[in-house]
Amino acid sequence: MSALSPVSVCRGVFVLWAWSAVLSACSQGSPHGDDGGSGALTGGTSSASGGSSAGGGLGEPGGAGPDDGPGPTGGANSPSGGASSGAPEAIRGERLEVEGGTFPMGRSDAGQDACPSGETCAPGEGPEHTVTVSGFWLDRFEVTVERFRAFYELYPPNLPLVGGGAHPAITGSGWQEDFAEDLPAARAELLEQLACNEDATFSPSAGTRDAFPVNCVGWPLALWFCIESGGRLPTEAEWEYAAAGGDENRSYPWGNEAPDSSHASFFPSELEPTGQHPAGRGRFGQEDLAGGVWEWALDWLDTNWYSAGGADCTDCARVSSGTHRVIRGGAYGYDAIALRAAARSGDVPSSRQTSIGFRCAYDQPAE
């Protein structure tokens, strides 16, 4: 894989923190406020070099062939949002249990997870607040090219039922009809979207990048994939709970030790296959929760969420409205400050970036 262009890696991602030289690989961009009201920085809009924005519209419902549009809402998927009965086994990843509990979500002012000395962290990472998360299961690895190919080969399956892929305790957290607006209408268009730039990892046939995290996937497509695999996207609270080791409140998935190349793939590294950094493994066994690619979460990004609806809550997520969906975990081409469990960022749901991928959450163990 050729050397990366750091600017193309970072362009388009909504960077939540202000800095002097935090992301040495990225340009600062321009101030931008989200619907939560406080300022943040954006690296610019999505482009051909950083990944494409909007996809195509839906084709006619009910088509059976691989190049017809996605089928009608509700087709073969179960009401609970589980995988359709015809989904191949290859679409299901290895999931590991995350024992539920209570933890201090967000960055503290003076604790072990405080902003690293000499760095500037965003006010939107705090205040630290008490959050309770019910037990769930989370993919061990970011969704890989090989695993995503199983979804690609059956594309387009029937769209999920309205409400499919919902967190069982969060009203309004499941699939909605308008999520389908930017989905590719046919497999050929999906393939075009997955080739968002030269650092895209997907290929329609087996290749050398099968173990790499799939990238160039927008938020609605990531949610649809997770529903087909029997799960959903993790809430922002669930994601941070897993990355922080629950009540251990780690600064990074592996602990409080500053990251190096043994822990994660981050600037100035290239993107690597999943599972190459066992020293960076989280408390519950998940790999690459820091580095690799940013990971989509369920929530809309709101920099005031921690002092409003997200303060001291149980199984909560911001699902009402917004402009950017949360991404977590940092990525190759980004500095170590983005690898912290409390670090937050986001991008528009239709964005497709080589620096963004995802993993799925589940409410039951694998069958």
DSSP string, 180-224: GGGS-SSHHHHHHHH--STT----SS--TTTTSBP-S--HHHHHH
> Nearest Cα to 243, choosing from 195, 280, 276, 268?
280
3-state secondary structure of 315: coil
Tokens of 92: 């299901």
Is the pLDDT assigned to residue 126 strictly greater than 90? yes
At 90 the pLDDT is 87
Coil vs helix vs strand at 236: helix
Question: Tokens 């072990």 appear where?
Answer: 112
Residue 72 is predicted with a pLDDT of 43
Average pLDDT over residues 137-164: 97
Local confidence band at 70 (pLDDT 50, 70, 90 cut-offs) = low
Task: Using pLDDT thresholds of 50, 70 and 90, give the confidence band for residue 201.
Answer: very high
Counting Cα atoms < 13 Å in the Cβ hemisphere of 8 gives: 17
What percent of the chain clears pLDDT 70, i.e. is strictly above it? 76
Q: Over 60: is that where the pLDDT of 45 sits?
A: no
Band of pLDDT at residue 13, cut at 50, 70 and 90: low
C-alpha dist (Å) from residue 294 to 178, 325, 343: 24, 12, 11
What pLDDT does residue 87 have?
Answer: 59
Collapsing DSSP states into helix, strand and coil, what is residue 26?
coil
1-367: what fold?
A: paralog of FGE (formylglycine-generating enzyme) (3.90.1580)
Residues 6+ apart with CB under 8 A from 269: 261, 291, 332, 333
State the maximum Cα–Cα separation within the chain, in Å, rounded to a whole number: 58
The alpha carbon dihedral of 252, 258, 260, 265 has a sign of positive
pLDDT of residue 33 exceeding 60, the answer is no
Write down the residue that tokens 């393939």 correspond to. Answer: 191
pLDDT band at 277 (very low <50, low <70, confident <90, very high): very high
CB environment 326-363: b (16+ within 10 A), e (fewer): bbbbbbbbbbbbbbbbbbbbbbbbbbbbbbbbbbbbbb
Q: Where are the domains of the chain?
A: 1-367
Regarding predicted confidence, which is higher, 86 or 297?
A: 297
Question: What mean pLDDT is predicted for residues 177-190?
Answer: 96
295: phi then psi, degrees, rounded to nearest 5: -125, 130
Provide the 10 A C-beta neighbour count for residue 152. 19
pLDDT bin (cut points 50, 70, 90) of residue 234 is very high
Is the predicted pLDDT of residue 231 greater than 70, yes or no?
yes
The answer to whether 236 and 326 are in contact (CB under 8 A) is yes
Q: What is the DSSP pairing of strand 129-133 with strand 313-314?
A: parallel
If you average pLDDT over residues 59-85, what whole number do you get?
Answer: 38
Helix (H, G, I), strand (E, B) or coil at 265: coil
List of E strands, 272-330: 294-300, 313-314, 325-328
289 Cβ contact partners less than 8 Å away, ≥ 6 residues apart: 239, 242, 243, 253, 280, 282, 295, 329, 341
Q: Which residues contact 59 (CB under 8 A, 6 or more apart)?
A: 68, 69, 70, 156, 185, 186
Mean pLDDT, rounded, of the chain? 82
Asked whether the predicted pLDDT for residue 48 surpasses 70, the reply is: no
Q: What number is the average pLDDT over the span 246-263?
A: 97
114 pLDDT more than 50? yes
What pLDDT does 96 receive?
A: 98
Q: How far apart are CA 213 and CA 201, in angstroms?
A: 7
Cβ–Cβ < 8 Å for 182, 218: yes
Look at residue 69 in the predicted model and tell me its pLDDT: 52
Say whether pLDDT at 214 is over 60: yes
Sign of the C-alpha dihedral, residues 174, 310, 181, 67?
Answer: negative
Lowest mean per-residue pLDDT among 79-88, 113-122, 353-362: 79-88
Q: How confident is the model at residue 367 (pLDDT cuts 50, 70, 90)?
A: confident
